[in-house]
Amino acid sequence: MPTKGEQFAGLTVALVTPFRDGAIDEAALRKLVDWHVTQGTHCVSPVGTTGESPTLSHDEHERVIAVVCEQAAGRVKVMAGTGSNSTREAVRLTKFAKKSGADAALLVAPYYNKPTQEGFFLHYKAVADEVDLPIVLYNIPGRTAKNMEPDTIARIGELPSVVAIKESTGSMDQASQILATSNLTVLSGDDSLTLPLLALGGRGVVSVVGNIVPGDVLAMLKAFEAGDLAGARQRHLKLFPLCRDLLGLATNPIPIKGAMKMLSRDTGELRLPMTPLSTGEEQKLASTLRAYGLL
């Protein structure tokens, strides 16, 4: 039986938010969307963790969603980041995403508050009741300080508009339990775990490394779908050092912005409390990019 959210299988790229002199660089953002269209990216996800959503004002958050939806113009799907630790704000942002023409909303589990499992359920139910837009759950306890348990995810997944989950616990056991007990499309939230998750029944990835090599991520996904496990494994092992540095050298999105600056694809500008890579970290990242053939 097909899972809910099949339309979001494949490659979704967690977009960076380009800055220039402290402000959102809208021209660069539009250029990014156009580039992903040419690369064959299936879906782009603005204003998530990689898009530095915590340091955007409410107006900026909405502006990024509006610009990306306008520039996408139906050429690539848009999964807008609309999560918040305030249920009211999550409802407001999701309504805005719907009005802007987004194809789905990516809602991170409420952070800092540390809700009960019932609180998680009621949070998502409130958004689903208020807005008719496909909802993708995002569970990343390393950032939110509280895990959404698989039983809770399965319960939330029974809401008609909840169609998929970005699984970022790093636990194959948790992913397996979600796959066994729900009908949600499961997307990897960690680039280095995409292939293992596909083997369990996952259907794609919300990718950081896709900001620079979407074609290579697509090639891995396509090889797996075609039953070419050796080819998929080869792609995974080539991507792995890049994934390791982009998510391991420093907190995301510091390394990916550093890489995009080295590749002349972004200013590399971050907002405090995010800070640039150290000289040593920059040298290590440059070495990895060279070894991959990007520099």
List pLDDT tens digits, range 89-119. 999 999 999 999 999 999 999 999 999 999 9
How many residues would you count in the chain? 295
Instruction: For residue 85, give the CATH number of its domain.
Output: 3.20.20.70
- Strand pairing partners for 165? 137, 186
Alpha carbon 272 to chain centroid, angstroms: 21
Residue 88: exposed, middle, or buried by beta-carbon count in 10 A (0-12, 13-18, 19+)? Answer: exposed
Mean pLDDT of the chain: 97
Does 205 map to a domain?
yes
Amino acid letter, residue 173? D
> Is pLDDT at 184 greater than 70 in this prediction?
yes
Q: Burial code of 42-63, b = ≥16 C-beta within 10 A, e = fewer?
A: bbbbbbbbbbbbeebeeebbbb
Residues in Cβ contact with 36 at an 8 Å cutoff, skipping those fewer than 6 apart: 13, 44, 76, 214
- State residue 3's pLDDT score: 81
Helix (H) or strand (E) segment spanning residue 43: strand 43-45
Alpha carbon 276 to chain centroid, angstroms: 21
Does 267 map to a domain?
no
Sort strands 43-45 and 19-20 into parallel, antiparallel or unpaired.
unpaired
Neighbour count for residue 90 (Cβ, 10 Å): 24
- State residue 21's pLDDT score: 97
What is the mean pLDDT of the segment spanning 37-50? 98
Domain range for 71: 6-226
- State residue 60's pLDDT score: 98
- State residue 1's pLDDT score: 57
Does 279 map to a domain?
no
Does 62 map to a domain?
yes
Considering its fold, how many domains does the chain have in total?
1
Does 254 map to a domain?
no
Does 252 map to a domain?
no
The pTM (predicted TM-score) of the whole model is 0.97
Residues marked active site are found at: 138, 166
